[in-house]
A = this chain, B = another copy of it.
Amino acid sequence: MRVLQFSCSLIFLLLCSALCLSYAAPRFPGSVIKPEQISSSTVAKSENELYKTKYFTQILDHFNYSPQSYHKFQQRYLINDTYWGGAKKNAPIFVYTGNEGDIEWFTQNTGFMFDIAPQFKALLVFIEHRFYGKSIPYGGNKEVAYANSSTLGHLSSTQALADYATIIIDLKKNLSATDSPVVVFGGSYGGMLAAWFRLKYPHVALGALASSAPILNFEDITSPYSFANIITQDFRSESENCYKVIKGSWQKIEDTAKQPGGLDLLQKSFHICNVVVCLNVQMCKAIDNPVHGNDTFAKLYAAANIYYNYTGHAKCFDLDDHSDPHGLDEWSWQACTEMVMPTDGSNEESIFPVSEPSYKDWAESCHDYYGVWPRPNWITTEFGGHDIKRVLKRFGSNIIFFNGLRDPWSGGGVLEDISKTIIAIVAKEGAHHVDLRYATKEDPEWLKEIRSREIKIITKWLSQYYTSLFHLSR
């Protein structure tokens, strides 16, 4: 069940996966770091120090009242009350709105929340997205939950947001913390969910930090060429030579693949268990200074090594590696139904082979695979996106949109302030939700400044909230 690859030809697959230009199911690239790659500052704290694991009995369908919709499932959330100031002081609650994957991974990689919890005396809660990790409906049985479109049908962003609202309200009630303000955090798809959550559930969340959230990468709002263009720019700015090597490699790979034994040769060249390789900005260094040889394939292998063999111990790349924390199969379902994000355009200048956006092919492959058609207009119908400056200029408040311009997803991000309280923070050198990582001594000045600006804004939200709490009778 790998819709991800539907629109990828073999040659395309070689650069596919993390930075894949598939129509609608690219993996959010900055997230594709495996658990074993977590930096030492993260793993220094053991799981038990970071959080406790809890489960909430969640309803299967919030928007339907058929008897089937009343089915319940166990939804996982992680909680840390080390720094919390408590319910009596109405101390804040910081909630991470889980992405398309195991919530433990996102928790361990959102060090920012742990870093700032002490100064805010905040309770930390990380909620897992339904159908991912251990939050599987149908009795936790993945075989049943993923079996077909009828069971997968309940995997959608609107259901996930309603899950978060339901859990947060219940949790606050149980903690007698009804008046504790809630701020939501999220990166990538989780960032989209955080922003949408503030817009749809202002009565549950006071504000949102939406990091690298491409909420405008739907329909015709963002150019489908933007994704490839940003990657191209990333590579060119690192090294024009690197860009040329990769750009020139496509024809060579295609020619080789066509020759007798060509696929075997490619497989050996790339040390691929199945067939895939990934790119990264850092890879340019490997291409410019290859240690494995000097031909095109050797350079590409060296580059790929950076992404998929961080430790240097893996002998080959395993496409079907099930330790990947991201729920690719489930994301493919989401991409084939509602998360239709056009990123498959690639023009002459692009580092990728030229490619015309092809919604039709994508939609048909989705239908062939799942038996349902995508709803490409749904996200903009439900959450908007068109004319966002005009729509939100006098509506809504308290959202920070962070974007790093190195991140190919930044093309679909909110890059300009919308109002005094819906704010865009843009980092020229920034990567995918880099602000949410643990602070380290090596952090550049701009990153430190961005984080302290985020803290300042959140402080203001909370301060206004406490003033209102004091002045407005309930």
Does A67 lie within 8 Å of B468, measured CB to CB? Answer: no
Most buried by B among A68, A333, A382: A382
Does B394 lie within 8 Å of A464, measured CB to CB? Answer: yes
Q: Which of these, B69, B169, B382, B390, contacts A381 with CB under 8 Å? A: B169
Q: Which of these, B150, B159, B395, contacts A68 with CB under 8 Å? A: B150
In the complex the two chains form, what is the Cα distance from A395 to B208 in whole Å? 13
Chain B residues within 8 Å of A62, by CB: 63, 158, 378, 382
In the complex the two chains form, what is the Cα distance from A61 to B200 in whole Å? 19
Does B63 lie within 8 Å of A64, measured CB to CB? Answer: yes
Chain B residue at smallest Cβ distance from A388: B203
Between A and B, 16 residue pairs with Cβ closer than 8 Å are A62-B378, A63-B64, A64-B153, A64-B156, A65-B333, A65-B375, A66-B149, A66-B153, A70-B372, A70-B373, A162-B381, A202-B391, A203-B383, A203-B388, A386-B474, A396-B396
In the complex the two chains form, what is the Cα distance from A465 to B395 in whole Å? 12
Most buried by B among A150, A373, A381: A381
Q: Which of these, B149, B202, B337, contacts A392 with CB under 8 Å? A: B202
Most buried by B among A65, A70, A378, A396: A65
Chain B residues within 8 Å of A381, by CB: 162, 165-166, 169, 204
Chain B residues within 8 Å of A469, by CB: 390
In the complex the two chains form, what is the Cα distance from A380 to B178 in whole Å? 14
Chain B residues within 8 Å of A7, by CB: none
Does A387 lie within 8 Å of B203, measured CB to CB? Answer: yes
Chain B residues within 8 Å of A156, by CB: 63-65
With A69-B153, A203-B385, A203-B391 in contact, do A158 and B396 touch (Cβ < 8 Å)?
no
* Interface: A397 (CB within 8 A): yes
Does B65 lie within 8 Å of A153, measured CB to CB? Answer: yes
